[in-house]
Amino acid sequence: MKSSFAKKLLTTPNLTIIPIDETISVAAAILKYRYTLTLPDALQLATAIVNNQDAFVSNDKRFHKVKEIPVLLLDDFLASRSEAW
């Protein structure tokens, strides 16, 4: 039986679960080495890059060094919204 969290996650609109394959794994290994990332962070970034996403959304400022994909920081977005008010 799936937990209620898993059910909510799997039915979230506009969310696609992408299996980690060999291409993503190799890309993650390169990113992990290149930017000294944790494996989960490298896997998430590699998944976005390999699947040709426009950007990677996070609130982790350590991602600013990644050059392979634009990284959008939530704090920057919120700051720009509060300035507009």
Q: What is the pLDDT of residues 7-45, one digit of tens each?
A: 888 888 988 889 999 999 999 999 999 999 999 999 999
Residues 58, 67: Cα–Cα separation, whole Å: 15
Residues facing 49 on adjacent strands: none
Domain coordinates of the chain in residue numbers?
18-84
State the chain's mean pLDDT as an integer: 90
Per-residue confidence (pLDDT) for residue 22, from 0 to 100: 98
Asked whether the whole model's pTM tops 0.85, one would answer no
Burial 3-20 (b: 16+ CB within 10 A, else e): eeeeeeeeeeeeeeeeee
The pLDDT of residue 82 is above 90: no
Per-residue confidence (pLDDT) for residue 1, from 0 to 100: 47
